[in-house]
A = this chain, B = another copy of it.
Amino acid sequence: MEQIVRERIIESAAQLFAENGFGRVSLQDVASLAGIEPHEIFELFECEKDLYMVVLESLFNTYSNKMSDAFKDSNKPPENLEAFAKTMCDLHKQVPYLFTLYYRELLAPSEQFEPVVLKNIRHVAYLSDNNFAKGVQKEIFRHGINPAMATLMFAGMFHYYFLAKEQIKSLLPKTFDDEEFMVLALKVFLNGLHSET
């Protein structure tokens, strides 16, 4: 029972922190959205910071685990890049607050940035960098591609898309969807990396 309440709290807290930012959310607000009594939340979490840390850890562990799966076969760099793109889009559908909280942390890092956010981002960046390096080594990707920069460029297309799409959708084709963006981004990027000029 306590586990169910705890999960409901974390879910409501993720939504409120994403919508309003840490510092503009109280434990009472979270209890109210979760539909529980205030004493139930005070029994589980000491303060807002405590809850925020648990929320970030839960979301960024999910991110790190799902993204690790994308790179599981080290012999297939282009296929792994496709899995990376697909996992980003899946995660954005399944845990949208993860991304909003990440962008908020990039704009104004909290104490949790280094130990939670960066720790998990570093792990995924390491896998992605290795994947690009492997592709260059196998001569599938062109010589001279810096793996860390390629990771930043590729991830960047998706992150900006997630950050901006709701607000700028009037600039995009009406029939536009995530899938279509992913396919084109992957195509242009893989073609751009391709070893012949």
Contacts and interface: CB of A to CB of B under 8 A. Distances in A.
Interface of A: 21, 100, 103-109, 113, 118, 121-122, 125, 142, 145-146, 148-150, 152-153, 155-161, 163-164, 167-168, 170-173, 176, 180-181, 184-185, 187-194, 197
Contacts of A192: 187-193
- Copies held by the complex: 2
The A contact surface, by secondary structure, is helix
A156 B160 contact: yes
User: Max chain B CB contacts within 10 Å: which of A109, A164, A180, A188?
Assistant: A188
Contact of A113 (B152, B153, B167): B167
Given A107-B107, A160-B156, A148 B173 contact: yes
Contacts of A106: 163-164, 167-168
A96 B190 CA distance: 31
A96 to B, nearest CB: 13
13 contacts: A109-B167, A113-B167, A125-B171, A145-B184, A146-B173, A149-B173, A149-B176, A152-B164, A152-B181, A153-B181, A156-B157, A156-B164, A189-B192
